[in-house]
Structure formats: C-alpha cells, structure tokens
A and B are shown apart, each in its own frame.
Chain A
Amino acid sequence: MKKSREFDNVLNECLERLLVNGETIEQCLASCPKQATELKPLLQTALVAKNASVIQPRPEFKARARYQFHLALQEVAAKRSRPLFGWQPRWATAIAIVLILLLTGGSTVAAADNSMPDGPLYGVKLATEQVRLTLTPSELGKAQLYASFTDKRVLEIARMAKKGKSEQVERTTQQLNAHLAMITQLVSAYEEEAGVLMAPAPAKVPGSSRQAEGKSFPAKQANMRAKLRTDMAYYAIHHPAVLRAALRQAPEAVKPALLRAIAVSEANYEKALEALD
C-alpha cells in the first residue's frame, strides 16, 4: 500500500515535469532510475493521451461566444442600472402603468410609444410592453408580442445609429437579442405542450365556451403559429436589410455596434425560424 502510494507520487511528479515543464521522458527517467522500467510505458501513454487531448475550439466559434458572453454581461449591468420600472416586480409595473393611464388619460403612454432609447419616455414604452406581456396568457401570444417588439427595436437601432449613439445601439441590440431568444424559447415551450396535447381530442361538450367562439382552440393556436411563422420569415429578411441600410448612412464610430446588431439579428432570426419549422 505504502509502496503503491510512493509510486503514485513519483508518477505524478514525472507527469508534471513531462507535461507542464516540457522535459523529455528520458530526463524524467534519469531522475528515478529505480522505477524507470515501470514508469517508461506509463509516461509514453500519458504523452500520447496529452497530445491527443489538445482539441481546440474553432476560432469563429470562439469569437462568437466571446461576443455573446460580453452581451450577457452588459445585459446584467444594464438590468442593475435600469432607471425606470426595471427593478420592480411585474405587478408593480402594471399598477404603475394603470396609474399613469388614469392620471394622464393615456396620452403619456401614447406619446411614449413613439419614443426612442435616448428619449425621456422610453422607460414608459418598455414598461408598457412588459404590461402587455404580463396580460397575455399564452406562449404563442407572448411570442407574437415579442415579434412585434423586434420590429420596434430594429427601427430604434437604425434611428440611434443615424444619430451616432453607439451606446443606445448596443443596449437596444441586447434587447433585440433577448426578444428573439424569448421567441425561440416560447415557441419551443408551445411545441412541447402541443406534443403532449396531440392525443385524440375528447368529444365536444355542447355549449362549451371554446366551441361558442366558433373555432376550436387548437385551430386558433395553429393559426397563430402560422401567422407568427409568416411574420418571422418576413422580419428575418426585412430587419437585417433595414440595419444594413442604416449601416450605409451611419457615422464611422457607430458602424462596429451596428455590424454586431446585424450579426445578432441574422443568427437569432435563424434560430427562431428553426424553432418554428
């Protein structure tokens, strides 16, 4: 037992010298002549294993992953410093919006709908969107809302780029990215649920509310899904085109941020469409 532990230690020391310090097998063996016969084949095997283990990630993947990582870091930082509504629970946001509606007759919310990321009412605009999401129960309904928000985000990115506002372009790109990720996630959740519900439908109950709506619930869902697919297919082409057009007119300083926005939108639309296919 003691001898075995000693040998484990010697083997490990030799491995450190061989694999970390770059010494040769012969150099290692020379310093442990008593165990050399037993050590030699093990060190040879370790060297083969080490050399074969050097699997490198593709450079293009590393670049993409690094970019996504930094976006995620910025998203966390942005959440922490969000000035309006961002820290509040959903119900509080909803109450805040209802209060604003009551106090202003809805004019503030209406005005906020056209606001841009550099405007004072932009926080109200985002909060209103959150309320709409909170009040939408179905996954597909939420996904459809997110799709409509992507349209707004792309317009905002283009406007901010034209004004030369890199920071707002970056921040809005993060939001666009998050919307697209949510669409993919919601569609996947819907597909899983629909898979469970694919069992034969029970006999219809006369007078049931869904029947009273004139169209079966699954048929409605299928129509919503088809509409979402059509919208996303259109946006997948239209949005990168809008951003590329903005790129041509944008000041040089904004171009790197805009190029990232184009890359993000192209990659994430592809993922969302894959989830819908």
Chain B
Amino acid sequence: MQNEESLVRRAQQHDQDAFAQLYEEYFDKIYRYIAFKIGNKTEAEDMTQQVFLNAIKSISSFRWRGIPFSAWLFRIAHNQVVDYLRKKAKHATTSLDEVLVSNGNNPQLVAEQNLDIERLLLATKQLTQAQREVISLRFASELSIAQVARVMGKNQGAIKALQHSAIVALRKTLSVE
C-alpha cells in the first residue's frame, strides 16, 4: 500500500482508487474486529459494510492531528459495535454458530476451528471490556501495539499491560496445556 497519509488525502478529494486501496487494506481487519466483538457473522457482515459507507460520508471531516486513519476507522467500527450491543442489551451469546468459519474443504478441520472460535469467544466473556478490546484489535485485526494504543486512546505501556493481563485471564479460562 502507498503511504497511507497520501492515500487518505486523495480519498478526501474523492479519488476512488485511493479509497478502494484503503478499503482493501482494512476490510478484513474491520470485519474480524466486529465479528469477534459481537459474535454474529451475518450482523458483522452488514456492520462492516456500513462502517465503510459511513467512512465515505465522513472522510472529508477526518483530520491528521496525530491520529492515524486506522484509528479513525476502528473508532467508527467501535461506535457501531457499541450501538449494536446497546440495542441487543446483551453480549454476543446468541449465534455463535453463525460466526464460525464456513470455508474450507476439510470438514474435520473446519469443525475443530469452529470449536476453537467458540471456546475463545466464551473465554473472552470473562475479560474486562478493555482486555477484550485489546485482544480483538491485536489478534483478530492484527494491529500493532502502537495502533491499538491510538485506537483506544491510551499509551503503549498501558496497552502492553492490558495485553499481558488479558492473556493471563484467557489462559485461566482456556486452560491451555
């Protein structure tokens, strides 16, 4: 990907190619973040699409003031997740089966993967909201510590500490041998 700042500036001037590059870069990451947070595949698909449609509408209001584009985009996703969870008034427990991976030709492998996801989603319910956010952004969306810090508005040291405590809590629940 080209320099992100230059892509964003071009996207703000309605350069479709630039916006398309940003879309391709972040689509899967945003999808995994939302799917991981809400635990429902169909809803995650609709919400991911909405994140990018909202981004098109409000890209002109984005300003480079030390906040990277990724942080801005994940904030849109985060706000949508918060709205969704508020509406549902309960956390992601309803449709775990829908969030599971459906691709792959090996049914046994897919089943094992599904089981892992289900266990992980259940385990993350034991975490605090901040720990869960760090795990979603670090492991599902594959953001760096610096990026997670920007998204969550905390310093890197705080994020590393949260990452540590989240993994310890996950280990207790998952009982990894």
Contact = CB atoms under 8 A, between A and B. Distances in A.
A72 B14 contact: no
B20 A70 contact: yes
Interface string B32-51: 10011000010011001100
Interface in B80-101: 99-101
Q: Categorize the interface residue count of chain B.
A: 35 or more
Interface string A113-132: 00000000000000000000
B16 A74 contact: yes
A5 B160 CA distance: 8
Contact of A80 (B14, B168, B176): B14
A21 interface: no
A11 B160 contact: yes
A72 B163 contact: no
Nearest to A74: B16
A27 interface: no
A62 interface: yes
A163 B103 CA distance: 41
A181 to B, nearest CB: 11
Q: Categorize the interface residue count of chain A.
A: 35 or more
Given A68-B49, A70-B20, A74-B16, A49 B170 contact: yes
A98 B135 CA distance: 60
Q: Is the interface of A mostly helix, strand, loop or mixed?
A: helix
Q: Is the interface of B mostly helix, strand, loop or mixed?
A: helix
Interface string A61-79: 1100110111011101100
B103 A58 contact: yes
A49 B164 contact: no
B160 A55 contact: no
B135 to A, nearest CB: 6
Given A53-B139, A65-B48, A73 B19 contact: yes
B1 interface: no
Contacts of B116: 48, 51-52
A69 B48 CA distance: 11
B74 interface: no
B126 interface: no
Contacts of B99: 55
Given A57-B31, A58-B102, A65-B48, A44 B16 contact: no
B157 A8 contact: yes
Interface string B117-146: 101100000000000000100111010110
Contact of B16 (A19, A46, A65, A73): A73
B133 to A, nearest CB: 13
A4 interface: yes
Interface string A36-57: 0000011011101111111111
Nearest to A8: B160
A51 B142 CA distance: 11
Contact of A56 (B28, B56, B144, B168): B28
Contacts of A61: 45
Given A65-B49, A70-B20, A55 B56 contact: no
Contacts of B119: 52
A258 to B, nearest CB: 21
A9 interface: yes
A-B pairs, top 8 by smallest CB distance, nearest first, are: A52-B116, A8-B160, A52-B120, A53-B140, A45-B171, A53-B139, A45-B176, A65-B49
Given A16-B144, A53-B139, 6 more contacts: A11-B160, A15-B138, A44-B171, A46-B139, A58-B103, A69-B20
Interface of A: 4-5, 7-9, 11-12, 15-16, 19-20, 41-42, 44-46, 48-59, 61-62, 65-66, 68-70, 72-74, 76-77, 80
29 contacts: A5-B161, A11-B163, A12-B145, A16-B144, A42-B164, A42-B168, A42-B171, A46-B167, A48-B116, A48-B120, A49-B135, A49-B167, A51-B116, A52-B116, A52-B119, A53-B139, A53-B140, A55-B100, A55-B140, A57-B27, A57-B35, A57-B48, A58-B41, A58-B45, A58-B102, A59-B103, A66-B27, A69-B49, A70-B20
